[in-house]
Structure 1
Amino acid sequence: MAKRVVPEADRRRRKPTKQGVVLSDRLIVETALRLLHEHGREGLTVRRLGAALGADPSTLYRYFRGTDDLTLAIADELVGRAMRGWRTTGDWRADLRELGLRIYTAYLAHPEAAVLTASRVSGRANEIAADEAVLRVLRSTGLPDPEVVRVYHAFIDQTLAFAALDAASLALPEKARAADEAVWRATYARLSPDTHPNIAATAPLLVARMNHSAYPTALDMLLDSAEAALRGA
């Protein structure tokens, strides 16, 4: 059964933990991000989190209904970090490009958290603010709302999909990631043009590109499509 979440005002009146800190939603989320970085997704447990905070694990249920509720809070924190300092300039394309790169970068700064949260919809304040901002920028172009929503959908899903894909690679053990990256040079670049003419013809280009994220390219392609729709409208 889900446990009652104590209002924020009541939480602030709690005594400091054994480590001399007063618990808050934000402190718990930041500690969870650190544990994900240090121990991976399997290491994020209520018991380990309580130990890191110097608090009884059961105390955490005064702030979150469970680990899934905490996961949604982590997702919202990553979006919030992306949004901090972002301002519109009046150039809709530049604004969306910057915001997409900010969200992508914020997630990749915490690969384990990104893999855990990129597929989730939190419905929390930062996520809602980001969605409102993207829709505001797109609607300012004069595109009809069905087209606005089509581009918005592609923009959000593409950003989070690339964040999850690239974060999963970063979250691999270093040896496994290095082995994957070496395949392009060690295998693809050595294929015979007699058996694989197209790979052989493009091998140097593949080696140069394939170990880097395609997100900036994909983002520009999406914005090109939106710009073409705007010209057509």
Structure 2
Amino acid sequence: ILLASMDGYRAEGDWNQRITALAMRLRDAFGRQPQLAAVWGRYASSGAGSRLVMEEVLQALRASGLPDEEIPARYHRLAVLLSALIASEAGISTITPDEHEQGLELFRVAVLGADPERFPTLAHFARDVRPLGVDRHAAFEGILAAHLADIEAAIRPR
């Protein structure tokens, strides 16, 4: 999957655009074979595809202006974040429509039915709290953007 996701990939744009484009390619590739996303999230790959992905992310981080000594730790955090988000999104995509509806009903009962005496804050926000499976693509993109903004903040002169 990693090798296929890198097929035809061209590093274009700044470091942030490169990492974002790569993350979207990985999400789409694993979205087509979601059962493998959880495996990727648990075990490191040592194949050519893995090395291509690692090389691109490391090159993009280096192009960002981060000091070399910060790049391995930033890479690791980014790799953990992406594998977790992709595995989570893939897991949601494998449930049946009936399982999805059951899960939503259980969520509604648990959240909307929260006892305001015992769970006052949950009861207050109940109508606005969304289930984990709702709008995964936007959540993925927002979480990735926030993480890349954190890296951007570390690059700026202090």
- The structure showing larger relative contact order (alpha-carbon pairs under 8 Å, at least 6 residues apart) is 2
User: Which range, TM-score by smaller chain?
Assistant: 0.7 to 0.9
Q: 1:197 to 1:232 in 2, by over 3 A?
A: farther
Match of 1:159 among 67, 72, 82: 82
5+ unaligned residues in a row in structure 1: which ranges? 1-77
Task: Deviation per CA, 1:141-199: give whole Å up to 9, x if none.
Answer: 22111211121111111111111222223223443233223333232123243332211
Counting matched residue pairs gives 156
5+ unaligned residues in a row in structure 2: which ranges? none
Match of 2:140 among 215, 221, 225: 215
Higher radius of gyration, 1 or 2 = 1
SS of the residue 2:13 aligns to: coil
Alignment partners' CA distance in 2, 1:210 and 1:173? 13
Stretches of 4+ aligned residues off by more than 6 angstroms: none
SS of the residue 1:143 aligns to: coil
Alignment partners' CA distance in 2, 1:178 and 1:84? 37
TM-score, normalised with respect to structure 2:
0.84
Match of 1:115 among 15, 33, 38: 38
The letter for the 2-side match of 1:139 is: R
Cα drift, residue 109 of structure 1: 1.8
Q: Which moved more, 1:97-106 or 1:221-230?
A: 97-106
Preserved CA contact (<8 Å) 2:66 2:155: yes
TM-score, normalised with respect to structure 1:
0.60
Cα drift, residue 98 of structure 1: 1.7
Preserved CA contact (<8 Å) 1:170 1:177: no
Q: Which moved more, 1:142-151 or 1:162-171?
A: 162-171
The letter for the 2-side match of 1:222 is: H
Q: 1:123 to 1:175 in 2, by over 3 A?
A: same
> RMSD value over aligned CA atoms?
2.2
